[in-house]
Amino acid sequence: MKPAGLLFARFTLDCQVYPPDDIDLDDVSLQDKVAQWANEFVRLIPALTLLDRYYIQMGVAAQAWEEKEHAMKELSAQLVENMHTMDELPSQLAEKDTQLDKIINSKSWKIVLFFHGIIFPCKINERNRKIKENVLLIKSSGLFDETWYLANNPDVAQAKVNPALHYLCYGGLEGRDPRSII
């Protein structure tokens, strides 16, 4: 007989019984009982083996469960840390906004802007000139209908901006139609 595994080994160790001295080992009824028990035990070996496998699988599953619990605890700690960081972000943003406002409202910034306009007026004028040329090109192409564009884009009409300029800078990129397709 092959042992059925851990459970079987444990069972046989736990159940070894030494008969008392007053039992007659030659008694036939006692031998029959022992034979029945031995047969019952042999019959139970597959079930004990199966239980052993389940016991091992449960141990592996318990270990995996503990590892997952540990990972979840680590992730929970990271989540709490990230939530604390997120809680601090609005105050950091407000601080940066305050710093930016101070810079924009400072005299030195205004001086820089003043000199930037004096030193680099050609770049600003060149850009404006190209935009004006492109707006005129759009209007003269016959492919842009100002009335239709304003009627079908009420946000542009409400903003009271030049419709061709809006189409050039925003509308075309947003996929708005420049005129009726029909």
Task: Please tell me the distance from the alpha carbon of residue 151 to that of residue 157, in angstroms, as a whole number.
Answer: 7
pLDDT tens digits, residue range 83-140? 999 999 999 989 998 998 888 888 887 787 777 665 555 556 777 888 899 999 999 9
3-state secondary structure 89-112: HHHHHHHHHHHHHHHHCCHHHHHH
Per-residue model confidence (pLDDT) at position 154: 94
**Integer Cα distance of 29 and 123 in angstroms:** 117
pLDDT at 5 over 50: no
Q: Which residue has the higher pLDDT, 181 or 124?
A: 181
Which pair of tokens denotes residue 89?
A: 């972000």
Give the C-alpha separation, 173 to 155, whole Å.
Answer: 16
Q: What token pair was written down for 165?
A: 């300029």
Nearest to 141 by CA among 88, 111, 178: 178
Give the pLDDT score at 137. Answer: 93
| pTM beyond 0.85 | no
pLDDT of residue 122: 53
Q: How far apart are CA 135 and CA 169, in angstroms?
A: 10
CA 174 to chain centroid:
30
Exposed e or buried b per residue across 135-157, where buried means at least 16 C-beta atoms within 10 angstroms of its C-beta:
beebbeeeebeeeebbeebeebe
Enter the tokens of residue 34: 């022992």
Per-residue model confidence as pLDDT tens digits over 8-64? 444 444 445 555 556 666 667 777 887 888 888 888 888 888 888 998 999 999 999
164 confidence band (pLDDT: 50, 70, 90): very high
- Distance separating alpha carbons of residues 38 and 31, to the nearest angstrom: 10
Tokens of 170: 């925003």
176: left (phi over 0), alpha (psi -120 to 50) or beta: beta
pLDDT at 106: 85
17-21, 36-40, 76-80, 174-178: range with lowest mean pLDDT: 17-21
pLDDT at 180 (0 to 100): 87
Gap between the Cα atoms of 137 and 144, Å rounded: 10
SS3 at position 105: coil
